[in-house]
C-alpha cells in the first residue's frame, strides 16, 4: 500500500475545522504524553500551539538531550553536476534557466574532496540534478569510489532510483539517502513541477521505500517549507516519517526542514514560514519523534542556527557550497540556492562548542 | 575475603563502567572518567576519528583504562563482527561491547544476532561483552557462545527509567554464572545503587552522566553509589518484610 494510502485517507479532511477546536488544555496534555498519535502532532502544529512554544521547547530539549546528548553531527554537501531534465519553478537548476551547466570530472571530484577533507569533514552528501544522461548511476559510482578515500560516510541526494540501482550504490559505498518530496500537496506539486521525471508525484514518493527495501542505512526526508501551508506540510512529513519508521525500523531516519531560499529565477515563497513557525515545526516533530534526527542546513543563517542548538536539531551542514565546483574549482557555476550561513567549518564548530555542544565530524565507519 | 571483579581473568578495578557518547566535549568526558575512576570505558568505533585535523577520542581516554570499543550502528551480526575486527585492527584491543540494534525507535538489542556474533568473536579471541534483553534462555546461549559477561538493559537506552526489568535481572543474577552488568537505562545514582544491592556485578552508564549539567560530579556520584550498593550487597541486608512482626506470634503456643 505504501504511504500514498495514508495520504489518500486525509483527502478532503477539514484541517481548519480541526485546528479551530484545539484548546490550550489539548496542547498541554499532548506535551506531557509519552506516545503521540497523528492528531496529537496536528495539535502541536496548530495556531493555538504557538502560545505554548516555551513549554514545547522544554519538552523537546529534554527528549533531544536524552536521545542524542550534547552533540551536533556535521556534514558537507558536494554538488557534482547541475544538469537537469526537470522544470521545477523554485529551483536554480530548472532546465529552462540558461545557466552554465557543468559536471565535475573525477579529477575535479577528487580536488573538491581534498578541500572538504581538510576542514575535518568526514560525512559527505553528494548532489546532482535529475539527468540520467549526464549523471547516470555509473557516474555516481565512479564518484563514490573517489570519495571513499576521503570520507567515512557518503550520502546521496540525486534523482529517484530503482531498488537495484540503490543496491549498486550501497555496494559501492553509499550509506545514506536524502530525498525530499518538496510538497505533499499533490495539486500544487503538479503546478510546481511542470515537466520532467520529477513531475510524477508517486514515482518520487515511492523512492524512499525502494532504498529502505534494499537496506539503505540512513534516510532523510523533507518538505520544502514555503511552498504550501507549513502546518500541513509538516504534518504529512511527520506521517511519512512515521510510516517509514514502522515499515523499516532498522533505518536511521531523519527529517529536514529546508526553508525556501532565493535562487535563480526569483521564485517567491507562496506561503512564507516565519522563524517562529519553523521552530514550532521543529519542536512538534521532536515531541512526536523522540529518536528521529532533525537536519537544519545552511539555508538558515548563523545566528538562527545557533539558537536552534539544544532545542531539537541534531545535524547541520557546514561550510556549504551549492555551486558545482564550489570548493576548489576556479570556474564554478552559480549555486542551486543562496546559502544563508556562510561561516566556514571551523566557525560552525566554534559556534556549536560555545553553545555547550560537541561538533561531531564522524559518526559512522564504512564497513 | 577481597571483593574482586574478574572478567576474562582480568581484575577490574571499578564496578562502574562509563560510556563516552553524548558528552559536550572530549575534555569533559575525560574529567568524568577521572572523577569516577571508571576502569572500563566504552567507545563507539563509529566515532573514532584517527585522521589528521580532528580531535581523536582515544587521545582523551586515560592510559590505565580498559578500552572497550562498542559496535554501535551494527544492525546484524555480520556488521558487528566487521566493526569488532576493524576496532582490533585500529589498535583498540580485544575487548568488545557487542551492541546489535535493528530498531532505531526503541534501540532495543537483537538477542538472536548478538548470540550469533558472540560465537564468532569469542572464537577469534575477543573478550565479548554482549548488550542484551534480559532473557534467561538467551543469557545461557550467550554464555555457551563464549561471552565474558552478560549486559542486560535496565530500561531502554537514554530513558533514565532505571530498573524496569528488575524481576528478569534477578533471574539472571541467580542463574547465570557470569558477571551481570546492567547496561542502559540507569538515570540516577540511586538506581545504580539499587542494581548493585540486587547483586549485579557492575553497571554501565552513559546518558545520565553525559547529559547532566555537571558530568564530572555526576560520574563521581554514580561511582560512589555503585560502591555503596556493592557494600550493601556484601553486607547481606536483613530481609525487608511485608508484614509487621506480631508481638503475639500465631505459633506462640508451640513450646
Asked if A106 and A69 touch (Cβ cutoff 8 Å), the reply is: no
Q: Give the mutation candidate from B18, B45, B47 for the A interface (greatest A CB count, under 10 A).
A: B47
pLDDT in the model for residue B47: 85
The edge-to-edge listing of strands for the beta sheet with B202-205 is B151-152, B127-132, B95-98, B66-70, B40-44, B16-19, B202-205, B181-183
Q: Please, what is the average pLDDT of chain B?
A: 92
For range B212-239, the mean pLDDT: 93
- Respond yes or no: is residue B97 known to be catalytic: yes
CA gap A80, A112 in Å, rounded: 10
State which residue of chain B sits closest to A292, comparing Cα positions. Answer: B105
A217 assigned to some structural domain: yes
CA gap A117, A103 in Å, rounded: 20
Q: What does DSSP assign to residue B101? A: B
Instruction: For chain A, positions 13-42, list CB contacts with chain B under 8 A.
Output: none
A365 assigned to some structural domain: no
State which residue of chain B sits closest to A65, comparing Cα positions. Answer: B211
The phi and psi torsions of A174 (rounded to 5 degrees) equal -80, 135
A366 assigned to some structural domain: no
Instruction: For chain A, positions 279-338, list CB contacts with chain B under 8 A.
Output: 291
CA gap A25, A243 in Å, rounded: 28
Q: Please, what is the average pLDDT of chain A?
A: 92
Asked if B229 and B197 touch (Cβ cutoff 8 Å), the reply is: yes
Report the number of distinct structural domains present in chain A. Answer: 1
Tally of residues, chain B: 255
pLDDT in the model for residue A128: 95
The verdict on a CB contact (< 8 Å) between B82 and A363 is: no
Nearest residue, CB atoms, B207 vs list A69, A120, A215: A69
Asked if B44 and B69 touch (Cβ cutoff 8 Å), the reply is: yes
Nearest residue, CB atoms, B73 vs list A69, A291, A364: A364
pLDDT in the model for residue A330: 66
A367 assigned to some structural domain: no
Range of the domain at A67: 3-360
Q: What does DSSP assign to residue A356? A: T
Asked if A172 and A366 touch (Cβ cutoff 8 Å), the reply is: no
Furthest CA-CA distance within chain A: 60
CA gap A143, B119 in Å, rounded: 38
A163 closest CA partner among A205, A126, A208, A198: A208
* A345: contact with B, CB 8 A cutoff: no
**A169: its cell numbers:** 550504490
For range A51-56, the mean pLDDT: 95
The verdict on a CB contact (< 8 Å) between B103 and A249 is: yes
Pick the CATH number of B5-234 from 3.40.30.10, 1.20.120.1730, 3.20.20.70, 3.40.50.1820: 3.20.20.70
**B153: its cell numbers:** 538493559
* B102: contact with A, CB 8 A cutoff: yes
pLDDT per residue over B132-182, tens digit each? 999 999 999 999 999 999 999 999 888 889 999 999 999 999 999 999 999
The verdict on a CB contact (< 8 Å) between B22 and A361 is: no
pTM here is 0.90
State which residue of chain A sits closest to B45, comparing Cα positions. Answer: A365
A169 assigned to some structural domain: yes
User: At how many degrees (to 10) do helices B77-89 and B111-123 cross?
Assistant: 40
B56 closest CA partner among B86, B20, B83: B20
Q: Where are the domains of chain B?
A: 5-234
The verdict on a CB contact (< 8 Å) between B49 and A362 is: yes
- Nearby residues of A107 by Cβ (< 8 Å), 6 or more positions away: none
Asked if B48 and B254 touch (Cβ cutoff 8 Å), the reply is: no
Tally of residues, chain A: 367
CA gap B200, A161 in Å, rounded: 51
**A253: its cell numbers:** 531516519
The verdict on a CB contact (< 8 Å) between B46 and A119 is: no
Asked if A158 and A126 touch (Cβ cutoff 8 Å), the reply is: yes
Please tell me the distance in Å from A367's CA to the nearest CA on chain B.
7
Cα separations in angstroms, B106 against A90, A115, A182, A313, B75: 38, 38, 29, 19, 13
- Nearby residues of B182 by Cβ (< 8 Å), 6 or more positions away: B151, B152, B153, B154, B163, B169, B192, B195, B200, B202, B203, B204
State which residue of chain A sits closest to B86, comparing Cα positions. Answer: A367
* A214: contact with B, CB 8 A cutoff: no
Asked if A297 and A278 touch (Cβ cutoff 8 Å), the reply is: no
For range A13-18, the mean pLDDT: 95
The verdict on a CB contact (< 8 Å) between A362 and B104 is: no
Percent of chain B with pLDDT over 90: 76
For range A107-123, the mean pLDDT: 93
pLDDT per residue over A41-51, tens digit each? 999 999 999 99
CA gap B75, B99 in Å, rounded: 9
Percent of chain B with pLDDT over 70: 95
* A366: contact with B, CB 8 A cutoff: no
A350 assigned to some structural domain: yes
Instruction: For chain B, positions 32-51, list CB contacts with chain A under 8 A.
Output: 45-49, 51
A246 assigned to some structural domain: yes
Kindly report which listed range (A75-89, A324-338, B186-200) carries the lowest average pLDDT score: A324-338
A91 pLDDT band (50/70/90 cuts)? confident
State which residue of chain B sits closest to A121, comparing Cα positions. Answer: B54
Q: What does DSSP assign to residue B109? A: B
The verdict on a CB contact (< 8 Å) between A291 and B210 is: no
CA gap A1, A261 in Å, rounded: 34
A247 assigned to some structural domain: yes
HSE, side-chain direction, 13 A CA sphere, residue A338: 10
The verdict on a CB contact (< 8 Å) between B25 and A358 is: yes
Tell me the pairing of strands B5-7 and B10-12: antiparallel
pLDDT per residue over B84-128, tens digit each? 999 998 888 999 999 999 999 889 999 999 999 999 999 999 999
A221 closest CA partner among A197, A232, A205: A205
Instruction: For chain B, positions 123-182, list CB contacts with chain A under 8 A.
Output: 158-160
Among candidate residues B13, B97, B123, B143, the one labeled active-site is: B97
H/E stretch holding A124: strand A123-127
- Nearby residues of B32 by Cβ (< 8 Å), 6 or more positions away: B18, B23, B209, B210, B215, B216, B218, B219
Instruction: For chain A, positions 108-137, list CB contacts with chain B under 8 A.
Output: 117-120, 122
Asked if B98 and B124 touch (Cβ cutoff 8 Å), the reply is: no
Contact residues on chain A for B53, CB-CB shorter than 8 A? 118-120
* B21: contact with A, CB 8 A cutoff: yes
Contact residues on chain B for A250, CB-CB shorter than 8 A? 75, 102-104
The DSSP annotation for A121-183 comes to --EEEEE--S-TTTS-HHHHHHHHHHHTTT-SEEEEE-S---HHHHHHHHHHT--EEEEEEE-
A1 pLDDT band (50/70/90 cuts)? low
Asked if B163 and B191 touch (Cβ cutoff 8 Å), the reply is: yes
pLDDT per residue over A230-283, tens digit each? 999 999 999 999 999 999 999 999 999 999 877 676 788 888 899 999 999 999
**A128: its cell numbers:** 546532482
The verdict on a CB contact (< 8 Å) between A363 and B46 is: yes
Percent of chain A with pLDDT over 90: 78
The domain spanning residue A69 has which CATH number? 3.20.20.70
Q: Which of A96-105, A319-328, B7-16 is modeled with the greatest confidence?
A: B7-16
User: How many interchain CB pairs under 8 A, A with B?
Assistant: 80
Contact residues on chain A for B46, CB-CB shorter than 8 A? 362-365
Higher pLDDT, A336 or A162: A162
CB atoms within 10 A of CB B170: 16
Please tell me the distance in Å from B141's CA to the nearest CA on chain A.
24
* A70: contact with B, CB 8 A cutoff: yes
| E-only strand ranges, A65-122 | 71-79
Tell me the pairing of strands B66-70 and A123-127: unpaired
HSE, side-chain direction, 13 A CA sphere, residue A303: 1
The verdict on a CB contact (< 8 Å) between A362 and B48 is: yes
* Residue B51 predicted with pLDDT over 70: no
CA gap A118, A197 in Å, rounded: 37
pLDDT in the model for residue B48: 84
Please tell me the distance in Å from A365's CA to the nearest CA on chain B.
5
The alpha-helical segments, DSSP class H, found in B37-150 are 77-89, 111-123, 136-145
**B164: its cell numbers:** 524496569
User: At how many degrees (to 10) do helices A163-172 and A137-147 cross?
Assistant: 20
Contact residues on chain B for A66, CB-CB shorter than 8 A? 158-160, 207, 211
Amino acid at each position: 500500500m505504501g504511504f500514498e494510502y495514508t495520504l489518500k485517507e486525509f483527502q478532503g479532511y477539514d484541517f481548519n475545522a480541526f485546528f479551530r477546536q484545539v484548546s490550550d488544555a489539548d496542547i498541554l496534555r499532548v506535551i506531557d504524553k509519552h506516545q503521540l498519535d497523528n492528531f496529537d502532532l496536528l495539535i502541536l502544529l496548530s495556531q493555538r500551539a504557538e502560545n505554548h512554544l516555551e513549554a514545547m521547547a522544554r519538552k523537546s530539549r529534554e527528549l533531544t538531550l536524552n536521545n542524542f546528548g550534547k552533540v551536533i553531527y556535521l556534514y558537507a554537501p558536494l554538488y557534482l553536476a547541475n544538469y537537469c531534465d526537470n522544470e521545477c519553478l523554485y529551483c536554480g537548476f530548472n532546465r529552462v534557466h540558461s545557466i552554465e551547466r557543468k559536471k565535475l570530472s573525477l579529477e575535479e571530484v577528487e580536488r573538491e574532496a581534498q578541500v572538504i577533507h581538510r576542514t575535518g569533514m568526514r560525512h559527505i552528501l553528494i548532489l546532482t540534478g535529475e539527468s540520467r544522461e549526464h549523471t547516470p548511476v555509473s557516474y555516481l559510482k565512479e564518484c563514490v569510489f573517489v570519495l571513499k578515500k576521503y570520507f567515512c560516510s557518503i550520502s546521496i541526494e540525486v534523482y529517484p532510483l530503482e531498488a537495484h540501482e540503490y543496491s549498486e550504490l550501497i555496494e559501492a559505498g553509499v550509506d545514506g539517502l536524502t530525498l525530499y518530496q518538496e510538497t505533499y500537496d499533490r495539486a500544487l506539486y503538479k503546478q510546481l513541477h511542470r515537466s520532467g521525471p520529477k513531475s510524477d508525484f508517486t514515482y518520487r514518493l515511492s523512492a524512499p521505500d525502494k532504498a529502505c527495501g534494499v537496506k539503505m542505512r540512513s534516510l532523510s526526508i523533507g518538505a520544502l517549507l514555503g511552498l504550501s501551508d507549513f502546518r500541513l506540510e509538516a504534518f504529512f512529513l511527520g506521517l511519512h516519517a512515521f510510516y517509514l519508521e514502522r515499515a523499516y525500523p532498522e533505518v536511521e531516519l531523519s527529517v529536514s526542514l529546508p526553508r525556501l531560499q532565493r535562487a535563480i529565477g526569483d521564485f517567491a515563497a507562496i506561503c512564507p514560514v516565519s522563524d517562529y513557525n519553523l521552530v514550532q515545526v521543529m519542536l512538534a516533530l521532536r515531541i512526536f519523534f523522540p529518536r528521529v534526527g532533525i537536519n537544519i542546513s545552511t539555508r538558515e543563517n548563523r545566528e538562527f542556527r545557533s539558537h536552534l542548538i539544544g532545542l531539537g536539531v541534531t545535524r547541520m551542514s557546514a561550510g556549504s557550497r551549492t555551486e558545482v565546483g564550489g570548493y576548489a574549482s576556479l570556474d564554478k557555476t552559480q549555486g542551486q540556492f543562496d546559502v544563508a550561513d556562510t561561516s566556514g567549518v571551523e566557525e560552525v564548530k566554534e559556534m556549536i562548542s560555545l553553545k555547550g555542544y560537541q561538533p561531531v565530524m564522524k559518526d559512522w565507519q564504512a564497513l | 575475603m577481597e571483593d574482586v571483579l574478574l572478567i576474562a581473568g582480568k581484575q577490574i578495578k571499578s564496578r562502574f563502567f562509563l560510556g563516552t557518547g553524548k558528552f559536550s566535549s572530549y575534555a569533559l568526558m575525560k574529567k568524568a572518567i577521572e572523577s569516577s575512576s571508571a576502569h572500563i570505558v566504552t567507545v563507539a568505533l563509529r566515532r573514532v576519528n584517527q585522521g589528521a585535523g580532528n580531535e581523536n577520542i582515544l587521545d582523551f581516554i586515560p592510559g590505565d583504562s580498559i578500552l572497550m570499543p562498542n559496535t554501535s550502528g551494527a544492525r546484524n551480526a555480520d556488521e558487528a563482527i566487521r566493526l569488532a575486527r576493524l576496532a582490533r585492527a585500529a589498535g583498540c584491543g580485544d575487548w568488545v561491547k557487542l551492541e546489535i540494534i535493528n530498531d532505531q525507535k526503541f534501540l532495543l538489542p537483537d538477542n538472536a544476532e548478538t548470540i550469533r556474533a558472540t560465537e564468532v568473536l569469542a572464537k577469534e579471541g575477543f573478550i565479548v561483552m554482549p548488550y542484551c534483553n534480559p532473557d534467561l534462555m538467551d543469557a545461557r546461549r550467550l554464555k555457551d557462545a563464549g561471552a565474558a559477561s552478560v549486559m542486560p538493559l535496565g530500561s531502554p537506552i537514554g530513558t533514565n527509567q532505571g530498573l524496569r526489568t528488575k524481576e528478569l535481572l534477578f533471574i539472571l543474577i541467580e542463574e547465570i554464572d557470569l558477571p551481570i552488568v546492567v547496561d542502559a537505562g540507569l538515570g540516577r545514582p540511586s538506581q545504580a545503587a539499587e542494581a548493585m544491592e540486587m547483586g549485579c556485578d557492575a553497571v554501565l552508564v552513559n546518558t545520565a552522566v553525559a547529559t547532566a549539567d555537571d558530568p564530572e560530579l555526576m560520574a563521581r556520584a554514580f561511582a560512589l553509589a555503585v560502591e555503596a550498593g556493592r557494600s550493601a550487597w556484601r553486607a547481606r541486608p536483613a530481609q525487608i518484610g511485608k508484614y509487621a512482626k506480631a508481638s503475639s506470634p500465631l505459633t506462640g503456643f508451640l513450646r
